[in-house]
Amino acid sequence: MSKTAVITGATSGMGATYARRLAADGYDLIITGRRKDMIDKVAEDITKEYNINVNVIIAELSDDNDIQKVIDAVKETDNIEILINNAGFSGYYKNFIEVEPAHYEQMIKVHQVVPIRLTSVVVPMMIKQGKGAIINISSIGAFNALPTGHVYCGTKSFIKMFSEGLYQELKDKGIKIQALCPGFTNTNFAKDYMTEEEYGKLANSVKSMMMSPEAVVDYSLKKLKKNKVVCIPGIINKFICFLFPKLPRGIYYSLAAKMAEL
């Protein structure tokens, strides 16, 4: 019997890497993205290499109509074993009052509402099958509030908490839950809201922390097999997540301000 994985935000980066890894394991795919030419190329390459079925849904996941398109496609598929809530909304690393509230609301929808809606669709299927896995992409920002990253970090903190609570509820149902908390990853994500010069400066500042999407996804899937719920790839990222929140707040705020300047 065939098996299917659903991956949001699979145009490039981690989403496309998850798609290739799971296709290699024999999964048919439902993948979403906004850039039709790019995601169609991903689907074409995967189909040729692995001879699996790929259903591409062009969707802007801050739009309710497009969210429903994805939900409808998922509901029409009865063999979903993996859901990866990977779609991200580029962070507005600006002062709070410099960004229109509507933009923050779009971010909240993509990072929080979409995972909740898709999870609510697949969980009953997975319970019926007695197996399944859900990977929610959080961030090391879930552990560390940064000035100018307030809403982004808040949404990622929600995803981590949501995943941990869901794990406790579903752990006896054969369903694995993971909150993946990567740090700086070499994808197009940051490039969406930075100039080339700004991104180059950032990449140089954090080059000791920068990971490839392939390394992050490999670590995620390895830890999923071991039922690791909160998954933090990279030694430096682990250090940041576990040490920084334990610091006295005054010291932490000073360090956070320096991190925000990177």
**What does the pLDDT read at residue 146?**
83
Q: Is 152 one of the catalytic residues?
A: yes
Give residue-wise pLDDT tens across range 115-138.
Answer: 999 999 999 999 999 999 999 999
**What does the pLDDT read at residue 1?**
66
**What does the pLDDT read at residue 13?**
95
**What does the pLDDT read at residue 94?**
79
- Give the domain CATH number at 55: 3.40.50.720
**What does the pLDDT read at residue 189?**
58
Say which residue, 256 or 60, is predicted with more confidence. Answer: 60
Residue 91 has pLDDT above 70, yes or no: no
Per DSSP, the three-state class of 8 is coil
Percentage, residues of the chain above pLDDT 90: 78
Percentage, residues of the chain above pLDDT 70: 90
Mean predicted lDDT score pLDDT of the chain: 91
> If you compute the radius of gyration of the chain from its CA atoms, what whole number of angstroms results?
18
DSSP 53: -
Give residue-wise pLDDT tens across range 186-221.
Answer: 876 555 555 565 555 555 655 667 899 999 999 999
With DSSP H G I counted as helix, E B as strand and the rest as coil, what are the percentages for the chain, rounded to 5?
Answer: 55, 15, 30
Give residue-wise pLDDT tens across range 35-53.
Answer: 999 999 999 999 999 999 9
* Tally of structural domains, the chain: 1
Q: Alpha helices of 58-113 — where are they, by DSSP H?
A: 64-75, 101-108
- Which uninterrupted H or E stretch holds 117? helix 114-129
Q: Which of 93, 152, 167, 219 is catalytic?
A: 152
**What does the pLDDT read at residue 225?**
97
Going by pLDDT thresholds of 50, 70 and 90, the confidence category of residue 145 is: confident
pTM above 0.85, yes or no: yes
Which region among 14-28, 136-150, 179-193 has the lowest average model confidence (pLDDT)? Answer: 179-193
Kindly state the average pLDDT of the residues 149-157: 93
Residue 148 has pLDDT above 60, yes or no: yes
**What does the pLDDT read at residue 258?**
79
Say which residue, 214 or 261, is predicted with more confidence. Answer: 214
CB atoms within 10 A of CB 104: 18
Torsion of CA 161, 97, 247, 211, to 10 degrees: 70
Kindly state the average pLDDT of the residues 227-253: 94
Give residue-wise pLDDT tens across range 156-172.
Answer: 999 999 999 999 999 99
Domain that holds residue 25: 4-260
